[in-house]
Amino acid sequence: MHKDCEYILLSEQEIKDIVKDMAKKISEDYKDKNLILIGLLKGSVLFMSDLMRELSIDCAIDFICASSYGSGTESSGRVNIVKDVSQPLDGKDVLIVEDIIDSGNTLNFITKYFAAKNAASVKICTMLSKPSRRVVEIPVDYVGREVPDEFVIGYGLDYAEKYRNLPYIGVLKPSVYS
């Protein structure tokens, strides 16, 4: 375990099982649809690549980069698009792939943004959710695991751009950011 990690929340095996389960549900729900997975950069990359290879149906992929976080642990509430998707979304069934939902600000904005691009449907799939931190209520369609109000790292999740490459999800030692 990394020295900055307080404890492991989800092991590699637990993550694998969760992703497999979600992919099965998504493959059933989208079998007659025009699925495009859109990952939020950068946190979703590991989850996205694991999820897509477990799908048993056809899908397209794309990425969008929105910023709401600085290098701290609190959301700024302001969302702006740093990199947009690279294709029209008209008539497509968009499934947003996210690492973690905290305040809900980012996805509240992005969901409306994709709907305005005339997507046929827009749903949300997130590896983690911190319900106790929600500021904006948003419907989340697929959740890997609900987590307590602690700062988590690994499996794509960073603190100040570090720890994304850890293969497990752990809680960051508060001494690192306080």
173 binds ligand IMP (CB under 6 A): no
Active-site entry in 102, 141, 149, 158: 102
Rounded to whole angstroms, how far apart are CA atoms 94 and 35? 6
* Residue 123-162 contact track with ligand IMP, rule CB under 6 A, x = bound: ----------------------------xx----x-----
Number of residues forming the site for ligand IMP (CB under 6 A): 17
* Residue 45-84 contact track with ligand IMP, rule CB under 6 A, x = bound: -----------------------xx-----x---------
Q: 96: closest CA among 32, 16, 36?
A: 36
Residue 157 Cβ vs ligand IMP, minimum distance, rounded to whole Å: 4
Rounded to whole angstroms, how far apart are CA atoms 57 and 25? 11
104 binds ligand IMP (CB under 6 A): yes
43 binds Mg ion (CB under 5 A): yes
Residue 20 Cβ vs ligand IMP, minimum distance, rounded to whole Å: 22
Residue 2 Cβ vs ligand IMP, minimum distance, rounded to whole Å: 14
As given in the structure block, the two tokens for residue 7 are 């404890």
Strands of 42-102 (E only): list them. 60-69, 75-83, 93-101
Q: Is 158 a catalytic residue?
A: no
As given in the structure block, the two tokens for residue 72 are 């701290």
Evaluate whether 125 touches 96 at the Cβ level (below 8 Å).
yes
Partner that binds at residue 39, options ligand IMP, Mg ion, none, CB closer than 5 to 8 Å by kind:
none
Number of continuous H segments (helices) and E segments (strands) in the chain:
3, 9
Q: Which DSSP helix (H) or strand (E) runs through 85?
A: none
Phi, psi of 5 (to 5 degrees): -95, 125
Instruction: Cite the active site residues.
Output: 102
Tell me which residues touch Mg ion (CB under 5 A): 43
Tell me which residues touch ligand IMP (CB under 6 A): 40, 43, 68-69, 75, 98-106, 151-152, 157
